[in-house]
């Protein structure tokens, strides 16, 4: 495992909202969120504008370095390499762990989606995954048809695996406490922060929940 993976993948794991922004607007939006208590920021953008994606990833990588936040790129090993990201997150249809590791190096954090499957998690942990994400914990606006990961699955994963366990899907400050009690190391959030009336306050509430548990 990369030296700091287990230490860094703990707390609030914020995923970007995919809204295109200018450089000043990106800094103005994400800077306060990172400062409010984000531990990990994942850049997730499914658009086809490669120049925009590169620009945004580079800027967010720099912001994260200044704040001491782990910067992860979703799905795209090329973009992770280009931006100097701390890691990459891989789903079912993405590159295998071995290929990503060969390109990005041993010290880069590789996270994986396990959905609701402990068996998949076993295989990916054995293949070298540095953290395991389970979800959807709750119904998700981002992925309405996503398989669910029960509290029992999350608790079992925390007992079974040495690497960090991340819960994702439909999480917000009002429903996160049961996931924290199940023992997850990090809460991955999209709409629960970006859709909040006060996104900075939402991050602070989630960060406080995790601080109390950890």
Q: For residue 2, name the pLDDT band (cuts at 50, 70, 90).
A: very low
The CA angle 129-96-150, to the nearest 5 degrees, is 55
> From CA 53, how far away is CA 20, in angstroms rounded?
9
Average per-residue pLDDT for the chain:
94
> Which pLDDT tens digit goes with each residue over 118-144?
999 999 999 999 999 999 999 987 777
What are the sequence ranges of the domains in the chain?
A: 5-213
> From CA 190, how far away is CA 194, in angstroms rounded?
6
Residue 23 confidence (pLDDT): 97
Q: For residue 4, name the pLDDT band (cuts at 50, 70, 90).
A: low
Residue 64 confidence (pLDDT): 97
DSSP state at residue 148? P
Residue 6 confidence (pLDDT): 60
> From CA 204, how far away is CA 80, in angstroms rounded?
27
Residue 94 confidence (pLDDT): 77
Residue entry with tokens 């086809």: 48
Catalytic residue chosen out of the listed positions 21, 54, 55, 143: 143
> Which pLDDT tens digit goes with each residue over 61-73?
999 999 999 999 9
> Which pLDDT tens digit goes with each residue over 163-187?
999 999 999 999 999 999 999 999 9
Give the pair of three-digit tokens for residue 141.
């606006």
Residue 87 confidence (pLDDT): 96
Catalytic residue chosen out of the listed positions 10, 83, 101, 113: 113
Distance, C-alpha 108 to centroid of its chain:
14
Cβ count near 138 (within 10 Å): 18
% of residues, the chain, pLDDT over 90: 87
Instruction: Please state the CATH superfamily assignment of the domain spanning residues 5-213 in this structure.
Output: Aldolase class I (3.20.20.70)
Give yes or no for a contact between 9 and 164, defined as CB atoms under 8 angstroms apart.
Answer: yes
pLDDT at residue 92 greater than cutoff 90: no
Q: Is 177 helix (H, G, I), strand (E, B) or coil?
A: helix
DSSP state at residue 141? S
Handedness of CA 129, 133, 203, 198 (dihedral sign): positive
Residue 143 confidence (pLDDT): 74
pTM: 0.95
> From CA 148, how far away is CA 136, in angstroms rounded?
5
113 among known catalytic residues: yes
Catalytic residue chosen out of the listed positions 21, 44, 55, 158: 44
143 among known catalytic residues: yes
> From CA 176, how far away is CA 210, in angstroms rounded?
9
Least confident span in 25-34, 56-65, 133-142: 133-142
> From CA 30, how far away is CA 38, in angstroms rounded?
10
Residue 5 confidence (pLDDT): 58
Residue entry with tokens 């309405």: 144
pLDDT at residue 47 greater than cutoff 90: no
């Amino acid at each position: 495992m990369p030296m700091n993976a287990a230490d860094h993948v703990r707390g609030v794991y914020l995923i970007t909202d995919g809204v295109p922004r200018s450089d000043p607007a990106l800094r103005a939006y994400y800077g306060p969120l990172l400062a409010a208590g984000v531990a990990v920021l994942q850049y997730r953008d499914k658009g086809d504008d490669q120049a925009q994606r590169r620009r945004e990833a580079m800027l967010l990588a720099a912001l994260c370095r200044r704040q001491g936040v782990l910067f992860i790129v979703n799905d795209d090993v090329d973009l992770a390499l280009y931006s100097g990201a701390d890691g990459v997150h891989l789903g079912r249809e993405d590159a295998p762990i071995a290929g990503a590791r060969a390109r990005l190096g041993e010290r880069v954090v590789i996270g994986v989606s396990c959905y609701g499957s402990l068996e998949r998690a076993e295989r990916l942990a054995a293949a070298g995954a540095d953290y395991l994400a389970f979800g959807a914990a709750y119904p998700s606006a981002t992925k309405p048809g996503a398989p669910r990961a029960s509290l029992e699955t999350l608790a079992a994963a925390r007992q079974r695996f040495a690497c960090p366990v991340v819960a994702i899907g439909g999480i917000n400050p009002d429903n996160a406490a049961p996931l924290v009690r199940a023992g997850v190391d990090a809460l991955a959030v999209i709409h629960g922060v970006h859709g909040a009336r006060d996104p900075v306050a939402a991050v602070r509430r989630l960060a406080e929940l995790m601080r109390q548990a950890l």
